[in-house]
Amino acid sequence: MIEVENLKKYFSTGILRKRHIKAVNGVSFQIERGGTLGLVGESGCGKTTMGKSLLRLIEPTAGKIIFDGIDLVQLKKKELRRLRPRMQMIFQDPDASLNPRMKIGDSIAEPLKLQGGLNKVEIKERVLELIETVGLNPEHVNRYPYQLSGGQNQRVVLARVLAVNPDFIIADEPTSSLDVSVQAQILNLMQDLRREFHLTLLFISHDLEVVRHMSDRIAVMYQGKIVEIGSVNEIFDGARHPYTNTLIAPVLSEDQLIYGDMKNAVDYSSGCVFYQRCPFSAGMCKKKEPEMVDIGKGHWVLCNRVS
């Protein structure tokens, strides 16, 4: 369904002395039709940047994004615009995802109007249908986003996304700004919708439990690189990368602790991205850049200790 090859996004800063911040640094993965890939990593590791680059909301620096056989990176603006409704994104902050000056009904009707082909009555019917699908009341149509709760707004966003019948959805921490009780509702709703509409999903989160609940494969991201990718069971029961281990361990033993934060690690030029914080780092890790190794059952690890 979607295949990403060596995707890169560098931001340059500085006028005289250019420095590159490698937000996404050579990421490759694929998601099968109907599958859900969960993407985890600490904040600032490039999850959101990668999600937006996939849809070219941010122009990627290099790489290939093949969606249903079409390379998105090569597409012209006009062709991209036509293809875009098939891919959708759900953002972190539901309140900011809706235009504050538009009524809920108008927000949901917007994609229908943009696509054309329906008259006013049909649009109205379809909006009510969608509103019911996501579990809202028809009376919400005439409300404004500030009159609804975060959870309700996220339902509205889901309805707007479903209005275009997408194949592929990127959900960028769709529940992280919601209450725990509401989180569960939204996640279950997403699960139901995914099954009902045969959606392919990229689910971005920093919450491992949420990702475990939602996905069938998990990718762990660190410093713009995917350090480990595999099925949910493989990752939770057979993680091989030290970073993944620290993420999933319920209680850390002394030798699993990692110190420092990512700021310390911005300026690496060669070697492993995780070198400075890795409890097992050996001399070679400083110089030798690890490569993705397949250890079976579609489980890949980026670590010098695994080979």
Partner 1 sequence: MRRIIAFLKEYRNSMPGLMGLGIMVFFMVSAIFAPFVAPYDPHQMYKPLEHPNSDHLLGTNDIGQDILSELIYGSRVSLFIAFFVSAVSCIIGTALGLLSGYYERMGFFLMRIVDGFLAIPRLPLIIVIVAFLRPSIWNLIFIFILFGWPFTARIIRSEVLSLRNRPYVDAARMLGARDFYILGRHILPNVVPLIIVQLIIEARHVILAESGLSFLGLGDPTAKSWGMILHYAFEYPTIFISEIWKWWMLPPGLCITFTILSLMFISYSLEELINPRLRGVTRV
Q: Which residues pair with 118 in a beta bridge?
A: none
* Span of 52-60, 207-215, 243-251, 286-294 interacting with partner 1 by CB under 8 A: 52-60
Locate 167 and state its tokens.
């194949």
What order of strands is seen across the sheet that includes strand 19-31? 19-31, 2-13, 62-67, 70-71
> Pick from 99, 149, 256, 264: which binds partner 1 (CB under 8 A)?
99
Q: Which is nearer to partner 1, 82 or 120 (CB)?
A: 82
Q: Which is nearer to partner 1, 164 or 265 (CB)?
A: 164
Cα-Cα-Cα-Cα dihedral sign, residues 65, 199, 204, 140: positive
207 binds partner 1 (CB under 8 A): no
Shortest Å, Cβ 112 to partner 1:
10
> Pick from 91, 222, 274, 300: which binds partner 1 (CB under 8 A)?
91
The amino acid sitting at 183 is Q
238 binds partner 1 (CB under 8 A): no
Q: How far apart are CA 307 and CA 292, in angstroms?
A: 9
Q: How far apart are CA 193 and CA 301, in angstroms?
A: 32
> Pick from 64, 84, 126, 206: which binds partner 1 (CB under 8 A)?
84
Site for partner 1, residues 121 to 180, rule: CB under 8 A: 157, 160, 164
81 binds partner 1 (CB under 8 A): yes
* Span of 87-95, 128-136, 248-256, 280-288 interacting with partner 1 by CB under 8 A: 87-95
Contact of 66 with 3, CB cutoff 8 Å: yes
57 binds partner 1 (CB under 8 A): yes
Q: Which of 186, 171, 187, 238 is nearest to 31 (CA)?
A: 171
Q: Is 204 helix (H, G, I), strand (E, B) or coil?
A: strand
Structural element, H or E, at residue 66? strand 62-67
Q: Which of 92, 107, 112, 85 is nearest to 167 (CA)?
A: 85
Q: Which is nearer to partner 1, 77 or 263 (CB)?
A: 77
> Pick from 65, 98, 159, 171: which binds partner 1 (CB under 8 A)?
98
Contact positions vs partner 1 (CB under 8 A)? 52, 55, 57, 81-82, 84-85, 87-89, 91-93, 96-101, 110-111, 114-115, 157, 160, 164
